[in-house]
Amino acid sequence: MEGNRQKTFHLRELALVLFFMKACASDIFPKAQNVTWSSLNFKTILMWSPKPTNHSYTVEFSQVGQDRERTPHCIRTMAMECDLTAGLKKLNAYYTADILSEPMRGVSSDLVEFPHATTEKFSPYYDTAIGRPEFRIEVSSDKRKTTLHVEDIPTALFVDEKRLNIRDVFMDNLQYKVTYRKAKSTGKKEKISKSSIIELTDLDRGESYCFYVQAFLPFRAQDKQHGEISNIQCSSEESPSIFEEYGMGVIAGAILITILAITAIIIVIVMCCRQRKRAVNTGKERLPLNGV
């Protein structure tokens, strides 16, 4: 019994020592705070605070369930961010990271475990924000079709020294949403396209329309489906020629009808003149001869 009591007492003492050591470590090496993932077009940076004074930070990261790794430029750094773009090789996997508060370079410490802050899970494929696309407007010669040519946004990823764009990464999962309206109206319409070439055929000919485009990723969580909205561009307002508006058949028919109408009017006028002349002549024949 006495031996068990002594053992329990020593364990309590050890727990208290470890507790106070951790408390002292937290005072000497403050834990990182406000830890966030910042990722745009697969450029992924881990950020935190506060600015270190008498300590440094080391970042350890890993795919969930795998061994932890370190990247050389984020070991005992005095910075408050770490670029992990190259380290997150499997894009559709989820990752976590720890930011350890450690002594500055060249300074030793007796601590075995340093204070650390752990991030939330992050996946480049499902979480990176998509930036603002560029596009150009093409109106067909007959003004019946407007085509938007969208440029797939370049990413921070490279394969064999080739820079990948978002179409290379998302492939058929990438769609574009175009929102458009008449330049003189506030009513909006939307169209979703799986292609980077978007054809619109429901526009009024000759009217000016305004457009903006954004990447659309329907497989993601709802709050991460849409990319940044592009700059608004408007097509020029052009009045179509009479030939474009009605076509040659309609115009030829209208000309023929006009000619027939004019001919009919001329015939009616001629007939009326003849009848009037005939009536005058008939009246003269019926008058009595003077002096007979």
pLDDT tens column, 52-104: 988 999 999 999 999 999 999 999 999 999 999 999 999 999 999 999 999 98
Phi and psi, residue 2, nearest 5°? -60, -40
Give the model's confidence band at 272: pLDDT under 50 very low, under 70 low, under 90 confident, else very high: confident
CATH at 95: 2.60.40.10
240 is written with which tokens? Answer: 């179509």
6 and 114 co-located in one domain: yes
The answer as to whether 248 is a domain residue is no
Q: Which is it for strands 233-234 and 209-216: parallel, antiparallel or unpaired?
A: antiparallel
157 and 221 co-located in one domain: yes
114 and 183 co-located in one domain: no
Phi and psi, residue 124, nearest 5°? -55, -45
pLDDT, position 242: 54
Asked whether 37 and 122 are in contact (CB, 8 A), the reply is yes
In this predicted model, what pLDDT tens digit does every residue of 112-141 receive, in sequence order?
688 999 999 999 999 999 999 999 999 998
36 and 87 co-located in one domain: yes
113 and 165 co-located in one domain: no
213 is written with which tokens? Answer: 């485009």
- List the domain range (segments joined by +) for residue 104: 2-127
pLDDT, position 278: 73
The answer as to whether 53 is a domain residue is yes
The answer as to whether 156 is a domain residue is yes
The answer as to whether 10 is a domain residue is yes
pLDDT, position 97: 97
45 and 94 co-located in one domain: yes
Residue 186 has pLDDT above 90, yes or no: no
How much is the pTM?
0.72
Among 193, 215, 240, the domain-final residue is 240
The answer as to whether 146 is a domain residue is yes
In this predicted model, what pLDDT tens digit does every residue of 212-271 receive, in sequence order?
999 999 999 999 999 999 999 999 876 555 555 555 676 777 787 888 888 888 887 878
25 and 112 co-located in one domain: yes
The answer as to whether 278 is a domain residue is no
Among 77, 92, 127, the domain-final residue is 127
Average the pLDDT over 33-48 and give the result.
97
13 and 70 co-located in one domain: yes
**Which residues, listed in sequence order, are joined to residue 81 by a DSSP beta bridge?**
47
145 and 62 co-located in one domain: no
pLDDT, position 8: 52
Q: Which residue has the higher pLDDT, 230 or 285?
A: 230
Give the model's confidence band at 18: pLDDT under 50 very low, under 70 low, under 90 confident, else very high: very low
Percent over 70 (pLDDT), the chain: 80
Number of domains in the chain: 2
* 59 CB-near residues (< 8 Å, 6+ apart): 46, 70, 71, 74, 75, 77, 82, 84, 97, 98, 99, 100
The answer as to whether 182 is a domain residue is yes
60 and 84 co-located in one domain: yes
Among 106, 127, 148, the domain-final residue is 127
Q: Which residue has the higher pLDDT, 287 or 66?
A: 66
Give the model's confidence band at 42: pLDDT under 50 very low, under 70 low, under 90 confident, else very high: very high
118 and 219 co-located in one domain: no
